Structure 1
Amino acid sequence: MPEALVLDADAVLWSTDRSAVEGRHLLLLLHGYGADEHDLYPLRQYLPDAFAVASLAAPLAPPWPAPGRSWYPIDGLDGRDSSHVTRAAQAVIAWIDEHAAGAASVGLLGFSQGGAVSLQAMRLDPRRFAYAVNLSGYASPGEMPQDAELAELRPPVFWGRGTKDDVIPEVAVTHTTQWLPEHVELSGRVYPGLTHSVSEQEIADVAAFLDKRLTALDGAGKV
């Protein structure tokens, strides 16, 4: 069995003192392949202030000369093997257990690989995560033991992608288009002309989605 992946806690970028996460709504940012914890962190200025934001660093280094970090390998025929995605998602859950167990809620926002890992983490432990945002990512193929529970809970998921995104294979997009509505409360948008990237309109849509999540979470806490 492969050795478990471990995230570097010292590499995490926090929008607040990490000791102040207790009782806060926590939003985790998971970057894409070849990026690092700095990539998505600037998005925090466009998102609701009520969130404590933690931008995680993926555990692997991609093959030279690719820069940055990766959540799982993409080289070779097994590059999109679900077991790689699952292993990365397990590392995210282990990090939460150690560093953010006291958060009032945990949400996930991932780009590309980070989006795939976000959905996989939600599939591993459906009750742990309040929602997920998947930007230019996909749902990993295959069945997971908790998929039926996920489909019963139907947590909110935002999926955004561009019509000019030529990085994610069409077969993965087709699978995700079918899989998400069967398992989650899906919202999202396809952005004309957008490549494998994030646009201002998409950020605005994500902010609106997160505002709704805050309203629902705070309302649930008052029941």
Structure 2
Amino acid sequence: MCGNNMSVPLLAEAVTVSGVEKETAAVTAFSLFSVRHGWADTLSGIQLPHVKFICPHAPSIPVTLNMKSMMPAWFDLVGLSPDSPEDESGIKKAAESIKAIIEHEAKNGIPPNRIILGGFSQGGALSLYTALTCQHQLAGVVALSCWLPLHKSFPLASSGNKNLPILQCHGEMDVMIPVQFGAMTSEKLKCLVNPHNITFKTYPGLPHSSCPQEMAAVKEFIEKHLPRI
């Protein structure tokens, strides 16, 4: 490795699941209140030999929704409805941290068009916002059980990546982030990127969680958009 991970703060503590072949692509994945190792374990089950998984750890911040208690989170959460006030500065700061990882990987041989951003809940939200505002065309986004942050700032905030492939998945019994929010997000995304590039899958009986069928869909998406070179 010819880069210095210490120059990118999120990479210093990230869990990386290396490919077993020459790495020609990367998936950077985030969880809500990121628990790095659990997410890394889940992803290792769907890994491709030429793909590296990078699982950064969210910093500890006071979260309003959790009575201002300190906990790992990518940005503050005031509420979980489409009209809740949002932590604009925190969202933008987190997105810049993710863009720094993209730049780092590019300098070390994996170009942005071979990088997928993905995540669950707040992590998926951050992935969507980062990819849509990134100056680079990425390989795609996996957005699980989430929403589009700062949705009212789009399409002005969008960098114009109309061909960005997006896989959205949502449990139909999600009470934390109801599936209707996912559907509203999907409709908004169709105004920002080519509607044919958006796949929205829902899973009956699934709460705010993942399932094997969802992970199979994620693997299929990664295989399609990060093929072996």
TM-score range, shorter chain: 0.7 to 0.9
* 1:87 shift after superposition: 2.1
Task: Tell me the distance in 1 between the aligned counterparts of 2:223 and 2:175.
Answer: 30
Show CA shifts across 1:58-78 (max 9, x none): 133345796851101113796
How does 1:74-153 map onto structure 2 within 5 Å?
74-75=77-78, 80-98=86-104, 100-101=106-107, 102-104=109-111, 105-125=114-134, 127-140=136-149, 141-144=151-154, 145-147=156-158, 149-150=160-161, 153=162
Q: Aligned equivalents of 2:203 and 2:99: distance in 1?
A: 31
1:156-208 alpha-carbon deviations (Å, 9 max, x no partner): 11000011111125774353031122223101310001000000100011111
AA in 2 matched with 1:96: I
The answer (yes or no) to whether the contact 2:16–2:53 under 8 Å persists in 1 is yes
Aligned to 2:3: none
- 1:51 matched to which residue of 2? 51
Q: Which runs of 4+ in 1 moved over 6 A?
A: 64-67
Q: Distance in 2 between matches of 1:26 and 1:75?
A: 32
Residue number among 176, 179, 182 corresponding to 1:173 in the alignment: 182
For structure 1, the residue ranges without an aligned partner over 5 or more in a row are 1-5, 219-223
User: What secondary structure, in the 3-state scheme, does the structure 2 residue paired with 1:46 have?
Assistant: coil
1:31 aligns with 2:31: yes
Is 1:210 matched with 2:222?
A: yes
CA shift, 1:146, in A, is 4.7
1:31–1:39 contact (8 Å) kept in structure 2: no
Give me the whole-angstrom Cα distance separating, in 1, the residues matched to 2:157 and 2:70: 34
| Map of 1:161 onto structure 2 | 170
- SS of match in other structure, 2:45: helix
Cα offsets for 1:39-87 (capped at 9, x unmatched): 3101222232221111111133345796851101113796534443222
Q: CA RMSD in A?
A: 2.8
Question: Which secondary structure state, in structure 2, belongs to the residue aligned with residue 38 of structure 1?
Answer: helix
Residues 1:212 and 1:72: Cα distance change in structure 2 (over 3 Å): same
Give the whole-Å Cα distance in 2 for the aligned partners of 1:46 and 1:67.
32
Q: Does the 8 Å contact 1:73/1:79 carry over to 2?
A: no
% identity of equivalent residues: 25
Equivalent residues in 2 for 1:12-27, closer than 5 Å? 12-16=14-18, 24-27=24-27
Three-state SS of the structure 2 residue aligned to 1:107 is strand
Cα shift at 1:100? 4.8
Pick from 73, 76, 88 the counterpart of residue 70 of structure 1: 73
- In structure 2, runs of 5+ residues without a counterpart are 1-7
Aligned residue-pair number = 205
Instruction: Give the aligned partner of residue 204 of structure 2.
Output: 192
Checking the alignment, whether the CA contact within 8 Å between 2:75 and 2:90 is kept in structure 1 is: yes
Q: SS in structure 1 opposite 2:217?
A: helix
Where does residue 3 of structure 1 map in the other structure?
A: none
Structure 1 window deviating more from structure 2 (7-16 vs 159-168): it is 7-16
- Aligned counterparts of 2:9 and 2:123: Cα–Cα separation in 1: 14
Q: Distance in 2 between matches of 1:158 and 1:174?
A: 12
**3-state SS of paired residue (1:204):** helix
1:157 counterpart letter in structure 2: I
